[in-house]
Amino acid sequence: MSLPYTTILLDLDGTVADSAPGIIDTLKRTFVALEIPVPDDAELLRYVGPPILDSFRDRAGMTLEQRERALEVYREQYLDQGAYDAALFPGMGLFVADIDASGLPLSLATSKPETPATLMLEHFTIAHHFDIITGASADEVRSAKADVIAEALVRLNAFGADLSRPIMIGDRIHDIEGAAAHGIPAIGVSWGYAEEGEFEHAIAVVDTVDELRSLIGLPAEGDPRE
């Protein structure tokens, strides 16, 4: 079977997993600890996807000192509990398993730091389906999606992946623009956290996992495996 892409780059929050409940709860506790007014849930949902330090700066107007303290509090709370307050989107567990079975190289490409990202994938028992797990660095120096994708490509190349026709799959504009910075097309998934207009430059937008499977070249869920 000939597949349209040679390597898959996959976002985590809002694409593979509905992680908003744990992130929002952790953000609330972080704001309370810092004695800063807690934004409403609609505003906190906008924090899901972009680098967290950028959101603390751009959305909360925090100073550098506040951002560093907020990150410290957030990480402690999130690793303790928030990372597990999530659920796989229906069909995504089988999707990554079938990518693995197809032989397509698969890398996570998330702005979430690698430690909580790995913990989440292990919690859902799907970490072993990823050839590479790439996320933000612990110091957040690598957190912009373009930088995460750059690191994923380096690791995939070392792995021996065919990078002639990669594809990025994600739910936010950061996934689309981060991929475009490397000349990589991107598919947007509508079940995540995107706001209107974020998929303007995606090559396709899918509403179901079966639509995504079709674009990647996998059989629909329940069809005989080829």
List domains and CATH numbers for the chain. Answer: 7-18+87-216 (3.40.50.1000), 20-84 (1.10.150.240)
Q: What is the pTM of this model?
A: 0.90
**Which of these, 34, 86, 83, 27, lies nearest to 52 by C-alpha position?**
27
Where would I find the beta strands (DSSP E) of the chain?
7-10, 17-18, 87-88, 106-113, 132-136, 166-170, 186-189, 204-206
Residues of the chain with pLDDT under 70: 1-2, 222-226
Give pLDDT tens digits for 185-218. Answer: 999 999 999 999 999 999 999 999 999 999 999 9
